[in-house]
Amino acid sequence: MSAEPRIGLIIPSSNSLTERQFNQYAPPGVGIHVTRLRMTGKWRKPWTELKDSLTEAAEALSDVKPGVIVFHCTANSMENGLAHEAAIVETVEKASGCPTMTTAQAITQAFDRFRIKTLVLISPYVKETNAHEVRYLKEAGYIVLHELGLGLETHAYSQVTPAEWQKVVKENTRAEADGYFLSCTNTRMIEAIEDLEKDLDKPVINSNQATMWSCLKKLGIRHSDKTLGRLFNEA
């Protein structure tokens, strides 16, 4: 691994927020390096067609010698269950020679950090995508008490404001939930976490927040940031 800690991200080509957020919230001295892959929306492909492109992306990203590579798309990493996720990780690790995780694995690590077993899922996705995530989470041992997807087109994910996300979450609370899962790497959900946790008094886990936390943990870097919620403010 390079002397400079580095995080490598393989993200959907349409994602406009991950790079900005990782560079904004990462501690000083951590390099953020991104490779884009056409894998969502009109570019969605079956695994047999995506595998070669993923291999090439992982090989290219490995040239900066990141300490960890993330296949960073929540919906795609959850889409076909744990076995498919394992195949993604194996493909990237084999091509790059770097430790690899998915966004979904980072999220479940964050759930486990707070012993979250029952949760509410909120996303910008269409119903079918939410259903894939519910199935993945069930297979991984979690209970989704309630889920809501806004049914947006991909280009509109980033246009929902943090205040709007707060409103949506508060309209979909469940008293019996251990925590709240704000799913998607291409939203401004991360900016709503601090206020939501104050209002709900429950952990709030978001795709980019959880992935940042998991990567830093993998790199052995401790980092506190109250704007990122309890995940970044508890030992």
Q: Which tens digit of pLDDT belongs to each residue from 132-174?
A: 999 999 999 999 999 999 999 988 999 999 999 999 999 999 9
Show the tokens assigned to 14: 């349409």
Laid out side by side, the sheet with 143-149 consists of 143-149, 118-123, 179-182, 204-206
Q: Which two tokens stand for residue 88?
A: 């993604």
pLDDT value of residue 76 = 86
Structure-token pair, residue 24: 């904004």
Residue 179 pairs with which residues in a beta bridge?
A: 119
Query: What average pLDDT score do residues 179-207 get?
Result: 98
pLDDT of residue 73: 92
Average pLDDT over residues 203-212: 98
Q: Is 147 helix (H, G, I), strand (E, B) or coil?
A: strand
Looking at the predicted structure, is the pLDDT value of residue 3 above 80? Answer: no
In angstroms, the CA 12 to CA 6 distance is 19
Share of residues in the chain with pLDDT > 90 (%): 86
| Residue 43 binned pLDDT confidence (cut-offs 50, 70, 90) | low
Taking alpha carbons only, the member of 73, 77, 65, 71 closest to residue 92 is 71
Q: Residue 80: pLDDT band by 50, 70, 90 thresholds?
A: confident
47 — pLDDT class (breaks 50, 70, 90): low
Mean pLDDT for 15-32 is 96
Average pLDDT score over residue span 193-210: 98
Section 10-32 average pLDDT: 95
Q: Which residues pair with 9 in a beta bridge?
A: 34, 70
Positive or negative torsion for Cα 85, 14, 112, 232: positive
- pLDDT confidence band for 210 (50 / 70 / 90): very high
What average pLDDT does the structure give for the chain?
Answer: 94
What is the model's pLDDT at position 64? 96
Q: Which residue has the higher pLDDT, 1 or 132?
A: 132
Judge whether residue 75 has pLDDT over 70. Answer: yes
Lowest mean pLDDT among 23-37, 39-53, 75-89: 39-53
Q: Is the pLDDT of residue 235 over 50?
A: no
pTM of model > 0.85: yes
Spatial distance between the Cα atoms of 204 and 209, rounded to a whole number of angstroms? 10
